[in-house]
Amino acid sequence: MIDWLALAESMITSPWLYAVLIAVSCLDSFLPLIPSEPVVIVAGVYAATGDTHIGLVVAATALGAFLGDLVPYAVGRFVGSRSAGRPAPGTKRRAAHDWFVRELDVRGGFVLVTTRFIPFGRYVATFATGLVRYPLGRYALFVGFATAAWSAYTALTGYLGGVMFQDNTLLAITVGIGLALVVTGGIEGVRALRRRRGAAVPDPVAD
């Protein structure tokens, strides 16, 4: 298995670093074991010392993540097209399907943007969005915004750590990753609170 973090650190002063960022952020969009966040944070840390360019780090990461998010969406659409349309009425799967379609119609942007920051949440959301055949144009618009926001947040988290701890790169990386975990946990906590306060999913009829 490729050690993406070591690979990125070995190319910090090389233009190939941005190709690594595109690749790792793309693969992380549909392969959960690929650690894109630490790699992007490290690139952001080194941007504080001038070894990388923060704008290019953000752009490369956003591009890779956007391209990667098209993969589970495409797989979901393919799976959906191979099945016999929507699940049968009166089943749990049909109730879940219809609920997710309504959620996307009302707050598709919110779902796609917030789940981009949640480990594993992004994989489920992008695949399910394709599965219910959410319009590609709207999907690309929301995912484009989500990946740009995620990329800027992740890279700037590392950059902030690098600015604060320029004389201690390891501490800067540790702080950057810690900030990312805190914010991600906060987003998940807000989502959990919204689910408890929001309308409950309609009780599905048993299969």
- Look at residue 207 and tell me if it is in a domain: no
Residue 48 lies in a domain: yes
Cα–chain center distance at 19? 18
DSSP 8-state symbol, 193: H
Instruction: Give a yes or no: residue 204 inside a domain.
Output: no
Mean pLDDT of 19-32: 92
What pLDDT shows up at residue 185?
55
Say what the pTM is.
0.75
Query: What is the predicted pLDDT for the residue at 94?
Result: 58
Please give the residue range of the domain that contains residue 51.
4-197
Residue 206 resides in a domain = no
Domain for residue 193, yes or no?
yes
Position 203 in a domain: no
Q: Is residue 152 part of a domain?
A: yes
Give the HSE-up count for residue 43: Cα atoms under 13 Å, Cβ half-sphere.
Answer: 36
Q: With a cut of 70, say whether residue 75 has pLDDT above it.
A: yes
In a domain? residue 149: yes
Q: How many domains in the chain?
A: 1
